[in-house]
Amino acid sequence: MRRVLVTGATSTVGGHVVDGLRDREGVAVRAASRDPAAVGAGVERVRFDFTDPATYRAAFADVDAVFLVRPPAISRVRRDLVPALSAAVGAGVERVVFLSVLGAERNPVVPHTRIESWLAEAPLETTFLRASFFLQNLATVHREEIRRGELFVPAGDGETSFVDVRDVAAVGVECLDGGPTGALDLTGPEALDYGTVCRRLSAVLGREVEYANPSLARFLVRRLRTDRDPARVAVMAGIYTTARLGLAGRVTDDVRRVLGRDPLDVETFARDYREVWA
Ligand SMILES: NC(=O)c1ccc[n+]([C@@H]2O[C@H](COP(=O)([O-])OP(=O)(O)OC[C@H]3O[C@@H](n4cnc5c(N)ncnc54)[C@H](OP(=O)(O)O)[C@@H]3O)[C@@H](O)[C@H]2O)c1
How many other CB atoms are found less than 10 A from the CB of residue 198?
A: 22
**Which protein residue has the closest C-alpha to ligand 1 atom 32?**
49
Q: How far is the CA of 74 from the centre of ligand 1 (A)?
A: 9
**Which protein residue has the closest C-alpha to ligand 1 atom 20?**
11
Summarize pLDDT for 9-30 with one digit per residue, the tens.
999 999 999 999 998 999 999 9
Summarize pLDDT for 47-97 with one digit per residue, the tens.
999 999 999 999 999 999 999 999 999 999 999 999 999 999 999 999 999
Pocket residues: Cβ below 6 A from ligand 1: 7-8, 10-14, 33-35, 38, 48-51, 69-73, 99, 101, 131, 133-134, 137
Q: Look at residue 164 and tell me whether its pLDDT is greater than 90.
A: yes
Which among 7, 34, 115, 138 is the best mutation to test ligand 1's pocket, defined by most ligand atoms within 8 Å of the CB?
34
Domains of the chain: 2-131 (3.40.50.720), 132-162+187-249+261-278 (3.90.25.10)
Residue 199's contacts (CB-CB under 8 Å, 6 or more residues apart) are none
Q: Look at residue 226 and tell me whether its pLDDT is greater than 90.
A: no
Q: How far is the CA of 13 from the centre of ligand 1 (A)?
A: 8
**Which protein residue has the closest C-alpha to ligand 1 atom 45?**
70
Residue 136's contacts (CB-CB under 8 Å, 6 or more residues apart) are 12, 164, 165, 269, 273
- Point out which residues pair with 129 in neighbouring strands: 99, 184
Average pLDDT, the chain: 97
- What is the model's pLDDT at position 108? 85
Which among 11, 49, 227 is the best mutation to test ligand 1's pocket, defined by most ligand atoms within 8 Å of the CB?
11
Q: Look at residue 110 and tell me whether its pLDDT is greater than 90.
A: yes
Query: Comparing C-alpha atoms, which of 191, 192, 184 is closest to residue 255?
Result: 184
**Which protein residue has the closest C-alpha to ligand 1 atom 8?**
101
Taking the C-alpha atoms of residue 188 and residue 186, their distance in angstroms, rounded to an integer, is 7
Q: Look at residue 199 and tell me whether its pLDDT is greater than 90.
A: yes
- What is the model's pLDDT at position 40? 86
Which among 6, 7, 12 is the best mutation to test ligand 1's pocket, defined by most ligand atoms within 8 Å of the CB?
12
Nearest-atom index, ligand 1, CA of 100? 7
Note whether 70 and 12 are within 8 A (CB). no
* 3-class DSSP assignment, residue 12: coil
Note whether 175 and 129 are within 8 A (CB). yes
